[in-house]
Amino acid sequence: MRIALDPYMFRHVPLLELPSLVAELGYEWMELSPRDDVTPFFLHPRIDDATVAAFRKELSAAGVGISSVLPLFAREGIKLALEPHPDDFIEDGRAAVDLIRGVNSPLVSFLYCAPHNFHQGNDAPGILRHAGPLTTAVHLADTFDHTGSSGLRYIVNPPGSAARIHQHLDIGQGEVDFDELFRELAATGFDGTLVSSVFAWEERAAESSRFMRAAIDRYVKANWS
């Protein structure tokens, strides 16, 4: 099993300094999410082979590996872990698993995102059982149930707005049931990548990242030991 950090809150840190920072925060793996100077969302990459080589050198020196890159593409042997996302083309967890089964490719698997829990069905155990061995990655962060209080947990203007709200908070700051999530991951034999995916606290990014590593370690020890 891999435990990785998504360093999005550190996107101001120069690329070649990221590996040592990730190692300092207690992680051996990094999920390289989009950065304007590397792979911007929906645009062509911004780095050349020389920069990639320099980045690999820093990764090696820090003892950090790249667990995954966002976005991923199922081509040329690259594995794709598909994540249902609020307001994307598919957001229901079971429907996403069914889509993956329909694609029927060993290169395409399922990514369960905990902070999307209340958008994709609010049934982590059921979705994970439905996915079984298709689950190869999990994004870990907390969020509040936007459907709570008769749908008035968040009040968005104008009335009837289709805005979809969710957070990526430290574990324990929201309403995701991580006990049941980790129990089911262990029960299904999960042995993929766990990613700390907190984005809400750039003013305390280092503290948050260290907290998440410790919290993930506790859950792993409690359920896989």
Whichever domain contains 154, its CATH number is 3.20.20.150
Nearest to 93 by CA among 56, 118, 58: 118
Q: Which long-range contacts (CB under 8 A, 24 or more apart) does 45-53 make?
A: 47/15, 51/15
Would residue 145 count as lying in a domain? yes
Q: In this structure, is residue 83 part of a structural domain?
A: yes
pLDDT confidence of residue 95:
94
Our CA angle for 66, 187, 170, nearest 5°, is: 50
Domain that holds residue 92: 72-201
Closest CA to 130 of 110, 107, 108: 110
Asked whether residue 34 is assigned to any structural domain, the reply reads: no
In whole angstroms, give the CA distance from residue 117 to residue 132.
17
Q: Is residue 114 part of a domain?
A: yes
Tell me the CA distances in angstroms from 141 to 25, 108, 154, 163, one per residue in order.
Answer: 17, 23, 19, 20
What whole-number distance in Å separates Cα of residue 167 and Cα of residue 183? Answer: 23
CA distance 28 to 4: 7
Residue 35 lies in a domain: no
In a domain, 129, yes or no: yes
63 within some domain: no
Cβ atoms of residues 149 and 204 within 8 Å = no
- Sorted by sequence, the CB contacts under 8 Å of residue 99 that are 6+ apart come out as 82, 90
pLDDT by residue for the chain (225 residues), tens only, comes to 999 999 999 999 999 999 999 999 999 999 998 899 988 887 788 888 999 999 999 999 999 999 988 657 645 677 889 999 988 889 999 999 999 998 888 999 999 999 999 999 999 999 999 999 999 999 999 999 988 898 888 888 887 787 878 999 999 999 999 999 999 999 999 999 999 999 999 999 999 999 999 999 999 999 997
Domain presence at residue 194? yes
- Please write down the HEC assignment for all residues of 87-122: CCCCCCHHHHHHHHHHHCCCCEEEEEEHHHCCCCCC
Q: SS3 for 72?
A: coil
- Quick one: pLDDT at residue 74? 47
Name the nearest CA neighbour of 34 among 67, 3, 7. 7
Total count of domains within the chain: 1
- Tell me the whole-structure pTM to 2 decimals: 0.83
pLDDT tens for 180-204 read 999 999 999 999 999 999 999 999 9
